[in-house]
Amino acid sequence: MRWGVIVFPGSCDEQDVYDCLKRNLGQRPEFLWHKDRLKGKFDCIVLPGGFSYGDYLRCGAMARFSPIMQGVVEFAEKGGLVLGICNGFQILCEAGLLPGALVRNSSLQFVCRQVCLRVEETDSPFTCSGKKGQLLRMPVKHGEGCYYADPAALERLRKNRQILVRYADGKGRSSAAANPNGSLDHIAGICNEARNVFGLMPHPEDAGEKILGSEDGLKIFSSVIAACDKKEKKAWLG
């Protein structure tokens, strides 16, 4: 599979994504520099976490203007798979590839901790290897991860089953205590209507090995691999 991992100035987790794909899943990822145009063929483009351009304006607000992003938007529009993690999720929202916005955590503080995600939908290339209701343990680490969308947009997300993962406790129940940032409807990650663009706040790449506390993050990446291998993505992508 051909993975592209974008490096923005201020990206922090690009190496983690790269290593996770290569070391744990035997993939051959490639770094893509933000100043370049998107060239070549890819199955999945990853926008990693970090603080692109320092995030001194709104998170992700600068990165969407990077030269590479024009190609990413076109790639997504043609049905290419795009995965945004943390800052990558924020950038996808800013770029209009995903609805809604990520605002300041309700605690007003940066939060770093292990969380549980409940898999809500499995008919997406990002969750197809999981089971409905399955719990995935992985860390969050962000200051602005509180998902917000207006009531109409939220209703559309629910109706189209675009909410792929929600925060939950160890028993699978969503609650304020299990939600690290106060996000609307305990949303941890959503996809677009076409289901080929996925953004999530938690970091699957930091949960790729037992020794790091969890390997549940691999579910996300292996779903993508399975989807591409079986060429099943068409089924979901209509």
Partner 1 sequence: MARVSAKQYPQPPVNADIVASHGLSAEEYQRIVKILGREPNYTELGVFSVMWSEHCSYKSSKIHLKLLPTEGPAVLQGPGENAGIVNIGDGLVAAFKMESHNHPSFIEPYQGAATGVGGILRDIFTMGARPIASLNSLRFGGFDHPRTSYLLGGVVAGIGGYGNCVGVPTVGGELLFDECYNANILVNAFTLGIAEKKHIFKGVAKGVGNPLIYVGAKTGRDGIHGATMASESFSEESEKRRPTVQVGDPFTEKLLLEACLELMKGDCLVGIQDMGAAGLTSSAAEMAARGGTGVELDLSRVPLRERGMTPYEMLLSESQERMLLVAKKGREGEIQRIFEKWDLDAVVVGKVTRDRMFRAFFDGAEVARIPVAALTTEAPLYNRPAERPAGQDELQRLDLEKIEEPKDLGSTLKLLLESPNVACKEWVYRQYDHFVRSNTVVAPGADAAVIRIKGTEKGLALTVDGNGRYCYLDPYVGGILVVAEAARNLACVGARPLGLTDCLNFGSPERADVMWQFSQVIQGMRDGCVALGIPVVSGNVSFYNETDGVPIYPTPTVGMVGLLPKVARHVTPWFKSPGDVVALLGRNREELGGSEYLKVIHRMVKGTPPWIDLKLERAVQQSCLKAIDRGLLRSAHDISEGGLGVALAECCMGGPEKPLGARIELREMMRGDARLFGESQSRIIVSLREKDLNRLREIAAKEGAPLQVLGEVGGSHLAVHPLVRVAVEELKSAWSSGLEKRLK
Contacts with partner 1, residue ranges (CB under 8 A): 9-13, 15-16, 19-20, 23, 35, 49-51, 53-56, 109-114, 139, 141, 143, 203, 205-206, 208-209, 211-213
Nearer to partner 1, 122 or 222 (CB): 222
The least distance separating partner 1 from the CB of residue 87, rounded to whole angstroms, comes to: 11
DSSP 67-121: HHHHHHHHHHHTT-EEEEETHHHHHHHHTTSSSSEEE--TTSS-EEEEEEEEE--
The least distance separating partner 1 from the CB of residue 166, rounded to whole angstroms, comes to: 21
Residue 222 has which token pair? 């292996």
The least distance separating partner 1 from the CB of residue 228, rounded to whole angstroms, comes to: 24
Q: Which residues are CB-contacts of 119 (< 8 A; sequence separation ≥ 6)?
A: 127, 130, 131, 132, 133, 134, 135, 136, 164, 165, 219
Nearer to partner 1, 203 or 219 (CB): 203
Query: Is 59 known to be catalytic?
Result: no
Per DSSP, helices labelled H in 11-56 are: 14-19, 25
Choose, from 20, 86, 116, 128, the residue flagged as catalytic: 86
d(CA 148, CA 76): 22
Choose, from 94, 120, 205, 215, the residue flagged as catalytic: 205
Nearer to partner 1, 31 or 148 (CB): 31
Choose, from 116, 121, 203, 215, the residue flagged as catalytic: 203
The least distance separating partner 1 from the CB of residue 137, rounded to whole angstroms, comes to: 11
Query: Is 86 known to be catalytic?
Result: yes
Nearer to partner 1, 140 or 191 (CB): 140
**Which of the residues are catalytic?**
86, 203, 205
